[in-house]
Structure 1
Amino acid sequence: MKGQDWYQTDEVAEGYEALRFSGGGALIDRREKAAVRSALGDVDPGHRVLEVACGTGRFTAMLADLDADVVGLDISREMLAQGREKAAAAGVDDRIEFLRGDASRLPFPDDHFDTVVAMRFFHLMDDPAPFLAELRRVSSEQVIFDTFNARSLRVLYTWALPMGSRLYAESQVAELLADADLRLADEQHDFVLPYGFYRGLPGSVAKPFRAVDRLVGRTIPGDYVATVSYWDARLDDD
């Protein structure tokens, strides 16, 4: 998996959210959380959620705030430390267990969770198939994840990122889901302008661009060249 060493430094962990989700990046954070909440729907108290590659706990704290029982797993001790601080500050640390672990060998029995969430994860995969199969193994109902798209503007600069970025065609995602015995329940595509564009702008400047982006994204061409896709996959009942 790309980026393991890069994410396991104090400097990267401490500056991760400020670099990506401040200013115009806050619009990205808001949209990603909305996608996860939309896929989850109504959550009963005690709904069991595993977040793989939980990082600094952006989604982990949000999920616990919905009264879910959450396990956040990440390979980076430094990222997990940030997640624990975030959960404590939000007052939800009693509903979250943070664990250090490898997503390729999840330390849980089959069907242990109702939902498995893996955001900002699949772009790091050299071979995503065994990872998706492992996420499906420990889920009894649902797997939520996102991918960056091969037909988007991200293709113009992905080579310049610290660890690169795997881009996906929709046909590749469909094949991955079929191989993992998962069926697609819902999909959303967004951000014609790539993430890097928004991160470079103050929030007040980014908002008008985001408004235009959303209008373009609602068209067929705009949807086709969206930077990111959010996938809601369910276990195949057949």
Structure 2
Amino acid sequence: MKGKEWYKADDVAEEYDSKRFSRGGRLIDRREKGAVLDALSPVDGKRVLEIACGTGRFSVTLAERGADVVGLDISRAMLTQGRQKAHEAGVADHISFLLGDAARLPFPDNYFDAVFAMRFFHLADTPAKFLAEMARVSKGQVFFDTFNDFSTRVVYNWLLPMGSHLYSREDVERLVEGAGLSLATESHDFVVPYGVYRKIPGAIASDIRSVDTAVGDTSVGERLASVSYWNAEVPELDGEAVERASEAE
């Protein structure tokens, strides 16, 4: 089963968090949430859109810190999990979960302070269209991650052929430029691919992570990183565009 079809299955949604973010996967969860918070903070009072929100891991984390969040996803089952998670965290009044297509976002231009997507672009069949839509509805910031083509992720893709798309830096630069964005900051991580961490106990994963981080802090390790986080900026609006954005609110 290919990526998108697999992702939308009901049984996948029910087990998604427990299979990926338990055991050594907790390290991945912490790192990803940290990357999002580092990029978007401070989030208190911000209007934020999450593309491919899944079970709401990031949406709930941002809502707990005062953001007003819209989470959009193509999977009804994932959205059900997200609503339950938001209710349990007491932030359901700060999150709206919507079923929708990221290539045709149902929002006006410049509507959100920030738009982000995690674990999305490796499954995106039309990445340029998706990023352009994210840029269109953001008036400040677009943040996303990619899986990289010069990394151990290549082996993982070969062993588990789910149709994941791997990106070079040049690919990302073309996407960012094509969407009318400018790249502000970037970071690169996980020489050891996600799949290894998910299969081992937390204590062992912590030791591996220490080595992974030490290697990743070198120029060679950065080049071999399997994941990159890209923080892009939307060009400043002119006076007329600012007025239109204010009217849309």
On whether the aligned pair clears a TM of 0.5, the verdict is yes
- State the shift of 1:41 in Å: 2.3
> Deviation per CA, 1:35-71, whole angstroms, max 9, x where unpaired?
00000122232x1000010000000100101101000
CA distance in 2, matches of 1:216, 1:149: 17
The residue aligned with 1:107 is: 106
Deviation of 1:117 (Å): 1.0
> Residue in 2 aligned with 1:34?
34
**Contact persistence 2:4–2:123 (CA under 8 A):** no
CA RMSD of aligned residues (A): 1.2
Relative to the length of structure 1, the TM-score reads: 0.96
User: Which residue is equivalent to 1:147?
Assistant: 146
**8 A Cα contact 1:159 1:165, kept in partner:** no
Matched with 1:66 is: 65
Q: Tell me the amino acid that sits aligned with residue 155 of structure 2.
A: L
Taking the aligned partners of 1:136 and 1:112, their CA distance within structure 2 comes to: 10
Letter in 2 for 1:44: D
Could you tell me which residue of structure 2 aligns to residue 43 of structure 1?
43
User: Which amino acid letter does the alignment assign opposite residue 195 of structure 2?
Assistant: G
TM-score (norm 2): 0.92
CA contact (8 A) 1:123 1:165 kept: yes
Structure 2 Cα separation of the partners of residues 148 and 33 of structure 1: 17
Deviation at 1:162, TM superposition (A): 5.7
SS, match of residue 42 in structure 1 = coil
2:83–2:92 Cα contact (<8 Å) kept: yes
Deviations 1:144-183 (A, max 9, x none): 1000011110101213336221100011101111111101
Aligned partners of 1:53 and 1:73 also within 8 Å = yes
What is the CA distance between 1:102 and its match in structure 2?
A: 0.6
Deviating more after overlay: 211-220 vs 36-45? 36-45
Alignment of 1:39-188 (within 5 A): 39-45=39-45, 47-161=46-160, 163-188=162-187
Amino acid at match of 2:99: R
- SS of residue matched to 2:15: helix
1-structure distance, mates of 2:3, 2:34:
26
Any conservation in 1 of the 2:140–2:236 contact (CA below 8 Å)? no
Provide closer, same or farther for how the CA distance between residues 63 and 162 of structure 1 changes in structure 2, counting only shifts above 3 A. farther
Please tell me whether residue 196 in structure 1 is matched to residue 225 in structure 2.
no
- The answer for the alignment partner of 1:213 in structure 2 is 212
Structure 2 gaps, min length 5: 238-249
CA distance in structure 2 between the partners assigned to 1:134 and 1:165 by the alignment: 21
In structure 2, the CA distance between the partners of 1:84 and 1:63, relative to structure 1 (3 Å rule), is: same
The equivalent residue for 1:11 is: 11
**Any conservation in 1 of the 2:3–2:164 contact (CA below 8 Å)?**
no
2:105/2:133 contact within 8 Å kept: yes
SS at match of 1:110: coil
Deviation at 1:8, TM superposition (A): 2.0
How many pairs align? 236
CA distance in 2, matches of 1:166, 1:207: 28
Quick one: distance in 2 between partners of 1:5 and 1:114?
31
| Alpha-carbon shift at residue 7 of structure 1 (Å) | 1.9
Name the amino acid aligned to 1:186: T
Q: Give how far 1:9 is off.
A: 1.9
The percentage of aligned residue pairs carrying the same residue is 61
2 CA distance for matches of 1:43 and 1:28?
Answer: 22
* 3-state SS, counterpart of residue 23 of structure 2: coil
Question: How many Å separate the matches in 2 of 1:122 and 1:130?
Answer: 11
